[in-house]
Structure 1
Amino acid sequence: MRKPILAILPVLLIASAFTWFPTPADHHIPPPIINAAVKSRIDATLKSFPDSGKIAGVSALIFEKGKEVYYNAFGYADREAKLPMDRNTIVRIFSMTKPVTGVALMTLYEKGAFQLDDPLSKYAPEFANMKVYKGVDASGNLILEPAKRPITIRDLTRHTAGFAGNDIPALAALVKKADVTNPANTLTEMATRLASLPLEFHPGDQWAYGISVDVQAYVVERISGKPFDQYLQETIFDPLKMVNTHYLVPEADRKRFAALYNRSDAGVLTRVPDEQANFFNTKEQALKPGGWGLTTTLDDYMKFIQMLVNKGAFGKTRILKPATVQLMATNQLSDTVSKRMWLPSKGRVGFGIDFAVRTQPPANAAENNGIVGEYFWDGAASTMFWIDPVNELTAVLFTQLVPFDKVKLHKSFRDAVYGPYVP
């Protein structure tokens, strides 16, 4: 696995009667990650997944130092129609929506519209005076206590807000009844319903993945005064020319919209019925979630992450300042946050602003391969991306498989890119 390379600085020998000039060997430029052999290894790896019936189709795009160094696709976007997977295939990216929302939020941060440690209630009064679940009494009634501190914007960006999920039966029943993420809810209605529920833990105490990024979208809407989807369009999609990125897939583009496949525990691949798989993205919905819901293509998403690896700029278009991107890619979780749900399954990572951030090298060959300092995330249909700032490498991998990556596609792809694990 590639290690960060320290540049060799030329030395001026002032004390001598001559000047020493470095030879070409002294200017050591590391070889590229993606060479012909690596391309062949990635091809063989990715092709094996649809060939073995583990997935219907897969595509991948890699840029290194600002240039495309790998693209290929194997299998089908729609197996039943024999429609091949290609770089124009539109896919559901689910939680890969989250970093897009984070960038939108941080454009407002740069304008001084909020501070990360501001109380959420400053911008969304519904979330003032939150109560925290403590247990149930003998009659089954909830025992609640006041939150030790307010939820902050930073809590939203790193999943430490404490919003109730499905882990505690008494809270799960309330969550179900509140129907917070019903697509018929506006972001305002979503926030009102969510704020009526007790928190599962005190803000800042634990890392628990959930609805926080949808609340970020609500904050963007409240601060900007614009519908969230409009703000994304004007601030990110139009400037980056992400013409294939939408909540609602245009009618004319639906022939490029990939089917979604389910893999059973027995390894049988079946198509999720289109009316179920496409419901959210083929009808106009009131809800424009920050945490999921976008559809896009390989090239569109690559523009977005190229902007990030280039420290906020894509070509002549600047979306964020370099310092803001660095802040987003910096671990925000203190060591006191010991309960981290399933985050450790991603490797030895922390969490920045809407990304996981790798803080240590892989502990062993079983762990996902990667470089310290990379930041990344994935989506429920087994899509994924990562940004490796050390090597200026960005990678996007698309497939449409649920449940999430039970076939270990992500690890196989990372290993194919970086090579065998080296302790």
Structure 2
Amino acid sequence: MTNADGLSKTLNRIHDVMTGHVESGDMPGLVTLVSRRGEVHVDAIGRLAFDGLPMTRDTIFRITSMTKPVTAAAAMILVEENKLRLDDPVDRWLPELANRKVLLAIDAPIHQTVPARRAITLGDLLAFRCGYGMIPVFPDRFPIQKAIAEAGFAPGPVFPSFPPDELMRRYGSLPLIYQPGERWLYNAGTEILGVLIARVAGVTFGEFLRDRIFVPLGMKDTGFYVPADKHHRFATCYARDPATQKLKVFDYPVTGKFSSPPVFENGSAGLVSTADDFNAFAQMLLNGGHLGSERILSPTSVELMTTDQISSENKQESQLFLGESRSWGFGMSVFKKLDDPNAAPGRFGWDGGYGTSWYSDPREQLTGILLTQRMMDSPQPPRVFTDFWTSMYQPVDD
């Protein structure tokens, strides 16, 4: 996309390809946003539900794991204020995680443990090296997987719904799967991080995000639930029924899990947002921490977030989520090499399991956001994701 004509052709191609996914019945509708060097284009296709109103630019979506980079940014605000440090143990604020025990081996009974060699740090939580997380072995076959499920942390589309103190008590009842700093494990780090941020800041996690990120960036429709006066803009969420292979409603706008304040403000998967709202967050990162006159983070903090923070040893067995071409920064993935048409090195971002995707490319000053509410069937990107990103990066003939 080197000129206006090329950008126009790219946008037309994205529209045509995305329209095909809606017309095929794979989802009722979607919203795409493409921003390049400050020029923003939004396309709303289809409907909020199969029997619903037309999709609009300001439709609200459950962005699930796209919450993670927002949580990481909130933590870095506290680092810049000297209230937290990346290498400091989190025991002071999270005593439930003090004096950890670690499984003797991944397949050991959960009582066979050894002492942790060191405490969990803020950096461990941000980089998903804290020792807690998802074991990418399906179906479950290890005792620790059963214990994790019994504690209420089984992987899947239904997220923990415990008060923060109870959530931490449950984490504290489990041994670590690996030593702190040893291995990248998905998801738990930012779940715990939201509780840490609230305890350090002395306000709820939602209040901190609102006051320090959402209001300054003008993210007026982003939060942990959709108020009643906005339910008419809230898309219905669908999942494929494994028995019938047909789509069925997973979460309703008015009566669903995101339609009222939650018991737990989940820093890993709890936010709702719109294309323009999330683009404001993305542009803040691309700008080195500021948007307009509002500075959220320093350039150094943004660089830390968007730079590879895990070693090849940390990354073992993470291929299900990261593949071969990317690694992990703070709360988001970072592309390391080019191994397919849409894996631009240096690009950062993440996906959401309810059907959302965001990545920003600093070299091109390019952001793409795809918002659907057609839940992913596996950790592998669905066809609509790969089609969107391939269309973004595919060369055009002038």
Q: Normalization by structure 2: what TM-score?
A: 0.89
Match of 2:120 in 1: 151
SS of alignment partner, residue 44 of structure 2: strand
Following superposition, the deviation at residue 185 of structure 1 comes to 2.1
Partners of 1:169 and 1:389 in 2: how far apart? Answer: 41
- 1:247-262 matches, cutoff 5 A: 247-262=224-239
Residue identity matched to 1:291: S
272-281 or 39-48: bigger deviation: 272-281
Q: Normalization by structure 1: what TM-score?
A: 0.84
| Matched-pair contact (CA < 8 Å) for 1:371–1:390 | no
Equivalent residue for 1:414, pick from 383, 389, 396:
389
SS of alignment partner, residue 230 of structure 2: helix
Match of 2:144 in 1: 171
Residue identity matched to 1:128: A
Partners of 1:265 and 1:271 in 2: how far apart? Answer: 10
Equivalent residue for 2:337, pick from 357, 360, 375:
360
Q: Does 1:328 align with 2:305?
A: yes
- 1:161-200 matches, cutoff 5 A: 161-163=130-132, 165=134, 167=137, 169-179=142-152, 184-200=161-177
Following superposition, the deviation at residue 371 of structure 1 comes to 1.8
Q: Deviations over 1:39-72 (max 9, x none)?
A: 221111111101112222121011111121x221
- 1:238-249 matches, cutoff 5 A: 238-249=215-226
Following superposition, the deviation at residue 238 of structure 1 comes to 0.9
Equivalent residue for 1:119, pick from 89, 96, 100:
89
Partners of 1:87 and 1:275 in 2: how far apart? Answer: 20
Of all paired residues, the percent bearing the same amino acid is 32
SS of alignment partner, residue 272 of structure 1: strand
Equivalent residue for 1:301, pick from 275, 278, 295:
278
Equivalent residue for 2:25, pick from 35, 39, 53:
53
Q: Does 1:86 align with 2:59?
A: no
Equivalent residue for 1:369, pick from 342, 347, 350:
342
| Matched-pair contact (CA < 8 Å) for 1:368–1:411 | no
Partners of 1:60 and 1:35 in 2: how far apart? Answer: 14
Following superposition, the deviation at residue 403 of structure 1 comes to 2.8
Change (3 A) 1:285 1:300: same
Number of residue pairs matched by the alignment: 386
Unmatched tracts of structure 1, length 5 or more: 3-29
Partners of 1:336 and 1:121 in 2: how far apart? Answer: 25
Partners of 1:137 and 1:349 in 2: how far apart? Answer: 28
Residue identity matched to 1:149: R
118-127 or 317-326: bigger deviation: 118-127
Query: RMSD between aligned alpha carbons?
Result: 2.6
| Matched-pair contact (CA < 8 Å) for 1:183–1:280 | no
| Matched-pair contact (CA < 8 Å) for 2:126–2:330 | yes
Change (3 A) 1:102 1:44: same
Q: Does 1:284 align with 2:261?
A: yes
Unmatched tracts of structure 2, length 5 or more: none
Following superposition, the deviation at residue 335 of structure 1 comes to 2.1
Following superposition, the deviation at residue 407 of structure 1 comes to 3.8
Equivalent residue for 2:356, pick from 354, 364, 383:
383
SS of alignment partner, residue 122 of structure 1: coil
Change (3 A) 1:336 1:268: closer
Match of 2:69 in 1: 99
Change (3 A) 1:188 1:243: same
SS of alignment partner, residue 172 of structure 1: helix
Change (3 A) 1:254 1:321: same
Change (3 A) 1:182 1:31: closer
Q: Does 1:236 align with 2:213?
A: yes
Q: Does 1:72 align with 2:72?
A: no
Equivalent residue for 2:8, pick from 25, 31, 36:
36
91-100 or 30-39: bigger deviation: 30-39
SS of alignment partner, residue 78 of structure 1: coil
Match of 2:181 in 1: 204
Q: Deviations over 1:205-239 (max 9, x none)?
A: 22110211011111111211111111011001111
SS of alignment partner, residue 109 of structure 1: helix
SS of alignment partner, residue 217 of structure 2: coil
Residue identity matched to 1:235: R
Partners of 2:45 and 2:330 in 1: how far apart? Answer: 33
- 1:340-359 matches, cutoff 5 A: 340-342=317-319, 345-359=322-336
Change (3 A) 1:273 1:98: closer
Partners of 2:107 and 2:356 in 1: how far apart? Answer: 43
Structure (1 or 2) with the larger CA radius of gyration: 1
Following superposition, the deviation at residue 276 of structure 1 comes to 9.8
Q: Deviations over 1:239-292 (max 9, x none)?
A: 111111121211011011101111356994423254699532123222111111
| Matched-pair contact (CA < 8 Å) for 2:110–2:175 | no
Partners of 1:329 and 1:164 in 2: how far apart? Answer: 21
SS of alignment partner, residue 376 of structure 1: strand
